[in-house]
Amino acid sequence: MNQILRPVARDSVLKIDPYVPGKSSAPGVDRIFKLSSNESPLGPSKKAVTAFASVAGKLEDYPEGSARRLREAIGKRYGLDPDRLVCGCGSDDLLHLLATAYVGEGDEGIFTTHGFLVYEIAIRAAGGTPVIVPETDLTADVDAILAAVTPRTKIVFIANPNNPTGTYVNMAEIKRLQANLPPNVLLVLDAAYAEYVRRNDYTAGIEMVSTCENVVMTRTFSKIHGLANLRLGWAFAPSHVCDALHRIRGPFNVNGPAMEAGIAAIEDTEHVTFAADHNEKWLGWLTEGVSKLGLKATPSVANFLLVHFPDEPGRTAVDADAFLTRRGLIVRNVASYKLPQCLRMTVGTEEANRLLLGALTDFVGGRARA
């Protein structure tokens, strides 16, 4: 008998490829610009930093467990009932909780080929089977998703806009998806980048959550609010979904400093507008600049750009990544997203964006080191 004499994690856990975050260093380079994790180049609201610091003298106290004041602040900002909001330790926490609550052994969870990696991890961790659906033009395809639904399907995850492609599914299509899903399948709209989107036909999903029993929207403070380090996210969901999430979430899954900073951040609409304006300007500038170099850039509505490189020796995404890293420009290799020929570049400060385009110009022109 070859019995293993130690604890063994569940099979579904051992099938998970661990998430590897974007790199954050460039050995031997003094000044680095981290454009690999879609963080805000402008940082958080100063009011959020002050609010965060205000809790420093009270670290021995447990936080209020339901993040009530934060939920009220979010509710006020968006006109939502705080009782239908659940906060989490990053929206990752909420994505995991949703999978845990709705997916079990033998169940299926759907997401798309270049969808956010956390979905697969969350579905597998819950014991479920990931069902990966092809995209059309690097965009989630509603018909393909609907065709993949089986009696075992319990959840569909869509990042809208999607990371790492930067593409989005318009409101009519999202509505069509909901209308054609079986009513027992939970549709999770991960709107981590919603604040950046400036398109009339986009919806983060608020109206749909208000009117449908099977739609949840998740949001984060990690991106436009510049608070990734604090780990703070929220979900707007039907009451019965909130009830399920509250049963399984950590009783103190949002820490006090994060809560205080989050309240200040959500109230500082000026800072959010400032960050969105900055992004709009430089995303357009980068997209145009990259295209002029003859590189394909997938049109993005988020705070990053997916750039495609040719499959020619010396000119590949891997070569470009190494070249940019030598100049302290850290971007995201997206091979794990099944895009080995691409790099994802976060919109940075004006200085970083100019250095990035300059470096890409040199790379394309074959100038090894300027």
Binding site for ligand PLP (CB under 6 A): 38, 90-92, 116, 159, 163, 190, 192, 220, 222-223, 228, 233
Q: Tell the smallest beta-carbon distance from residue 45 to ligand PLP (Å).
A: 17
Q: For residue 117, what are the CA distances in angstroms to 31, 237, 298, 335?
A: 29, 22, 19, 12
**Nearer CB in complex with ligand PLP: 122/364:** 122
Minimum distance from CB of 280 to ligand PLP (Å)? 19
Alpha-carbon span 110 to 99, nearest angstrom: 11
Record the tokens describing residue 103, joined without a space: 């997916």
Q: What is the DSSP string of 188-250?
A: EEE-TTGGG---TT---SHHHHHH-TTEEEEEESSSTT--GGG--EEEE--HHHHHHHHHHS-
Instruction: Report, in Å, the least distance between residue 77 CB and ligand PLP.
Output: 17
CB of 90 to ligand PLP, least distance (A): 3
Q: Compute the distance between CA of residue 157 and CA of residue 256 in angstroms, rounded to an integer.
A: 29
Report DSSP state, residue 185.
Answer: S
Q: Specify the pairing of strand 215-220 against strand 233-236.
A: antiparallel
Q: Which is nearer to ligand PLP, 163 or 214 (CB)?
A: 163
> What is the number of the residue whose Cβ is closest to ligand PLP?
90
Residue 308 CB, shortest distance to ligand PLP, in Å, is 19
**Are 156 and 181 contacting, i.e. CB atoms less than 8 angstroms apart?**
yes
Q: Which residues pair with 330 in a beta bridge?
A: 34
Beta-bridge partner residues of 31: none
Q: Which residues are CB-neighbours of 24 under 8 A, at least 6 positions away?
A: 32, 34, 36, 37, 330
Question: Is 231 or 271 the residue whose CB approaches ligand PLP more closely?
Answer: 231
Q: How far is the CB of 233 from ligand PLP (least distance, A)?
A: 4
Give 37 or 341: the residue with its C-beta nearer to ligand PLP: 37
In terms of CB distance, is 48 or 364 closer to ligand PLP?
48
Least Å from the CB of residue 223 to ligand PLP: 6
